[in-house]
Amino acid sequence: MLSILIPTYHYNALPLATLLEKQALGNKLIFELICVDDGSFSHLNQENQKINNLTHCKFIEAKKNVGRAASRKFLAEQAQYDWLLFIDVDVIPKNPDFLIKYLKEIKNHHEAIFGGFAYLDSSYEPKKSLRYTFGKQREEVDATHRNKTPYKVIISANFLIKKHIYLDLIEQHTENSYGMDYVFGTLLKKHQIEVYHINNEVIHYGLDENSAFLKKTEQAMETLHHFYANKQLTKSDISILKAYEFLKLFHLQHLFGNFMNFFDSSITKNLTQENPNLFLFDLYRLGYFCRIKN
C-alpha cells in the first residue's frame, strides 16, 4: 500500500501523475496519488484538475502559499497509507518498473529509500550549464557509492519513507528556505534512520538558469548556516561544514570569506559560462558561508 505524493507550484503535474497511475494500475498496486499546488493560483491548475479524473488520484489547490516543507508535511498528513513516495513534479521516472523497484525494497526493512537522480545529455543548455554540471557530477551517483556514505547524497525529489518517521522528523523543521535537503540528511543521521540507496532514478528536467541557481545556492548556504549556528547539525556529512570547521580551527574563516569575496566576479564569470568548474563552485559556496553573519 503506497501513497504517491507530488508537491507542485505553477507546473503541469498531469503528465507525471498519468504515468505513475498507469504504472500502479498495470501492476495492480494498492495506492493513492495526491498532488498539491502550493498556492500558485496558476492557469496550469486547469490541467492539474484533470488529475481528479484519474484512478485513486486527487489534486488539491492550496489557498495560500506555505512553502515547500510545509506543503510536504501537509501531503504526508493527507496520506492514508504507511509508505510515502515523494516525487518532485519536474522529474520523470527513468524506468517503467519504477514503483515496483521501490516496493520490492520494503520487505528488506529499510526505513527510507532513495532512488537517485539522472540527467539527459539533451538537457544541457549553456544558460543552465551550472545546474546541469552540478547535477551530472554530484547528484547522478550510483547507489553503490551513495550507500558508502548514505546520509550525504540526500535528494528529496525521489524517495520512499515510512509515514510516521517522516512526520516525526519534520515536526520541528517546516522552514521554507531552499537547501533543506542538507538538513534532512542530517536529521536522518541524527535519529539513526536506516537509509538505503538504490538505482531507481528519476530524470530531472526542471533545471534553473545559472543566475537563478547561484541565488538558490546562496539561500541554501543561509539555511545551512541558520541550522549550524543553532547547533542543529551535529555529526554532519556535509562537506561545506567540514571545510568550514577546518578553517575555524585556525581562525581563518573570516579571512577566507573576504579573500573569496575579492575574486567573486571572476568566479561568477566562470560559473556562468558553458563549462563551469565545480571546484570553484565549492569555493564560492564556502566563501559565501564564511561571510554570513550570525
162-183: burial string, b at 16+ Cβ within 10 Å, e else: bbebbeebbeeebbebbbbebb
pLDDT at 4 over 80: yes
pLDDT at 236: 66
- 3-state SS assignment for residue 228: helix
For residue 275, how many other CB atoms are within 10 A of its CB? 9
- 3-state SS assignment for residue 284: helix
pLDDT at 180: 80
Question: Could you tell me the CATH superfamily of domain 2-208?
Answer: Spore Coat Polysaccharide Biosynthesis Protein SpsA; Chain A (3.90.550.10)
Model-level pTM? 0.93
pLDDT at 284 over 70: yes
Tell whether the torsion through CA atoms of 187, 188, 192 and 193 is positive or negative.
positive
Q: What pLDDT digit, counting tens, does each position of 216-226 carry?
A: 999 999 999 99
Which of 8-12, 109-113, 228-232 is predicted least confidently?
228-232
The band of 233, judged by pLDDT with boundaries at 50, 70 and 90, is confident
Q: 113 and 163 in contact (C-beta within 8 Å)?
A: no
pLDDT at 99 over 70: yes
The predicted model gives 94-119 an average pLDDT of 95
pLDDT at 171 over 90: no
Task: Cell numbers for 224, please give them.
Answer: 545551512
pLDDT at 262 over 70: yes
- Helix ranges, the chain (H): 14-26, 45-48, 68-78, 98-106, 129-134, 143-146, 163-170, 180-190, 210-229, 239-249, 253-262, 264-271, 278-291
Of all residues in the chain, the percent with pLDDT exceeding 90 is 84
What residue ranges do the domains of the chain occupy? 2-208, 211-291
pLDDT at 139 over 70: yes
The predicted model gives 22-38 an average pLDDT of 98
